[in-house]
Amino acid sequence: MSVRVGDILGAINSIDDRVRASARKAVSRFTIALAGQCREICPVSPTDPKHPYYIGTSGALRGSINSTPATIEGDVVFSYVGAGSNVNYAIFVHEILTNNHRYPGAPNPKAQAKFIEEPMSTMRPRFTEFCAAAMRSDLAGGGA
């Protein structure tokens, strides 16, 4: 029997491409879910202009939370979750622990500081398991 080395390398490259694409997809799915968790607890200012906490941009911070599609640099898959790219008070809301986000009439009664960090810490232990399961399913043809 004989086989062309080029055929083997081609097959390996094909597998490598599939694994990388699957890894990107899995990580992207994870960070989309993470961004959703962040939005769940993101403070939101009132919509009523007469409310003392009204700042005129209700929901802008929550709307700024997003994740980037995963990319691969070397052997590492990157996807970023962030907030505030267009909201200059984001870090103040995120970092100051004593701000009152659950004031009477708050649009988001679950709001809190550390609205990015805490979901990230909570979900981090499940990251590898989630990605492994998603990739297994994907590569087995489940396409999940």
Partner 1 sequence: MNHAAFLNSYANELGTLCSLVRTGPQKIALWTHDFDEDAAADVFSVARIYPGPPVMDTAAVHELSVQIETTGRPFGAWAQAMALHNAHLDADAAPKRAWEITGYIIHAVRQLRPPGQVAMDAKRRVILTTNLNLAFSAA
| In the complex, minimum distance from the CB of residue 58 to partner 1, in angstroms, rounded to a whole number | 20
Q: Which of residues 114, 127, 130, 137 is near partner 1 by CB under 8 A?
A: 114
118 contributes a contact to partner 1 by CB under 8 A: yes
| In the complex, minimum distance from the CB of residue 91 to partner 1, in angstroms, rounded to a whole number | 5
3-state secondary structure of 100: coil
Comparing C-alpha atoms, which of 50, 34, 38 is closest to residue 90? 38
* Dist CA 110 CA 101 (whole Å): 8
Q: Which of residues 6, 74, 104, 125 is near partner 1 by CB under 8 A?
A: 125
Which residues on adjacent β-strands are paired with residue 67?
Answer: 81
Binding characters for partner 1, 43-82, by CB under 8 A (x = yes): ----------------------------------------
129 contributes a contact to partner 1 by CB under 8 A: no
* Dist CA 17 CA 25 (whole Å): 12
Q: Which residues contact 106 (CB under 8 A, 6 or more apart)?
A: 43, 44, 46
The contact set with partner 1 (CB under 8 A) reads 91-92, 94-98, 112-114, 117-118, 121-122, 124-125
